[in-house]
Amino acid sequence: MILRGNFPIDKFEELETPFYYYDFDLLRATLRAIDENTRRDPDFCVHYAVKANANPQLLRIIAQAGLGADCVSGGEILAAIKAGFPGHKIVYAGVGKTDREINIGLDNDIFCFNVESEPELRVIDELARAKGKLARIAIRVNPDVGAHTHANITTGLAENKFGIAMTDLDRVIALAKSLDNISFIGLHFHIGSQILDMNDFTALCNRVNSLVERLENRGIDVPNINVGGGLGIDYKHPNHHSIPNFEEYFDTYRRHLNLRPGQRLHFELGRAVVGQCGSLISRVIYVKEGTKKRFVILDAGMTDLIRPALYQAYHRIENISSDSEIVERYDVVGPVCESSDVFGKAVDLPLTKRGDFIALRSAGAYGEIMASQYNCRELPKSYNSDNI
């Protein structure tokens, strides 16, 4: 096998582009790093946020590593169960859970529904009663803690649609405790995604500490605290930082969150688990000389990886075919009929020609799963280091 970086480039020659390529050895190393940094804390429970990537083989590896699953739809619960996550390790959040989806959760005896509104709480109670079950719920609190990340992916501010305001918390807990088929087991939080400044998580810890203390003073026990996900990855240097700094992340919680004996702390990590192990592999269809610029036109577009178009997100672009020592500046674009279908502007690449392989790095999270068929394009296929 001929490797370019970690890419088996000779195998790629036989495949139709574009496709996602997952380095499962890196995924396993990432899962080992999570285990090494949480093993000594039996009260830490790490869940994988399925929304980041629900590729069945990838899910299976994560389930085998012992993580729980954080789901946001009935479809995700079913995908998690199919991949081998046990129901009792599944948590389920979402502002708009339908009756059908709640029933999927009940039928699979999931660990916890993260409840985001009062009407939702009443519906879960009704549906649980109809099945003669007791639904465990945590209340998702909107902590009004900002995160230093992109505006579209912060979720913990008062202005966001997520969770229940702190001022309504007492009333909603009282309601939960009054409902026969509901068991109140804790609180859930999430402040946003792609967070690299640990101070943001410290701010969340401080908020959680004061809330839990307030509740305990009134005799309300909070056996489970779920702090959501959000740990970011290094999009600029995927090779140097291929595994996120889990030590720093879990240490932040260890140092700043006052966990009581027997209290369990849940995490819901998505991007940090799968982000670096995936790349979108495409071929150059044309190199086009514009009047002011030179364009590299790929066969992958925003339908395959929407993050640059949607969030102006940066993904490192590498020509993994070219050996040229000549470096040229290009705008790297896709073929979709939208001017936002741009992966990078003024990108320096070795001299690039038609047919070269281009890797869009750090695309394991929110890549394949967000693909669409706009322009009647086919969904991208995927391959991995186990099956190629």
d(CA 113, CA 91): 6
> H or E segment at 331?
strand 327-333
- Using CB under 6 A, which of 18, 230, 278, 301 touches ligand LLP? 230
Pairing mode, if any, of strands 357-360 and 278-289? antiparallel
Regarding 203 and contact with ligand LLP (CB under 6 A), the answer is no
Q: For the segment 171-200, give every residue that binds ligand LLP (CB under 6 A).
A: 190, 193-194
Site for ligand LLP in 348-377 (CB under 6 A): 365-366
SS3 180: coil
Distance of alpha carbon 343 from alpha carbon 354, whole angstroms: 17
Options 171-179, 228-236, 284-292, 325-333: segment touching ligand LLP (CB under 6 A): 228-236
- Residue 39, CB-side half-sphere exposure with 13 Å CA sphere: 8
**Smallest distance from the beta carbon of 50 to ligand LLP, in angstroms?**
9
Q: Which of 23, 268, 341, 356 binds ligand LLP (CB under 6 A)?
A: 268
CB-based contact 250:172 (threshold 8 Å): no
Stretch touching ligand LLP by CB under 6 A, among 17-25, 126-134, 169-177, 266-274: 266-274
The answer to the question of residue 154 lying near ligand LLP (CB under 6 A) is no
- Binding-site string for ligand LLP from residue 22 to residue 61, where x marks contact by CB under 6 A and - marks none: ---------------------------x--x---------
> For residue 337, how many C-alpha atoms fall within 13 Å in the half-sphere facing its CB?
5
Question: Nearer Cβ to ligand LLP, position 93 or 284?
Answer: 93
Nearest CA among 321, 322, 316 for reference residue 343: 316
Q: Which residue(s) pair with 289 in the sheet? A: 294
What is the C-alpha separation between 262 and 142, in angstroms, rounded? Answer: 24
Nearer to ligand LLP, 296 or 363 (CB): 363
Q: Which two tokens stand for residue 257?
A: 């969150």
Nearer to ligand LLP, 315 or 377 (CB): 315
Whose tokens are 């729980």? That residue is 68
Chain residues binding ligand LLP by CB under 6 A are 49, 52, 70, 93, 153, 155, 190, 193-194, 228-231, 268-272, 307, 311, 365-366
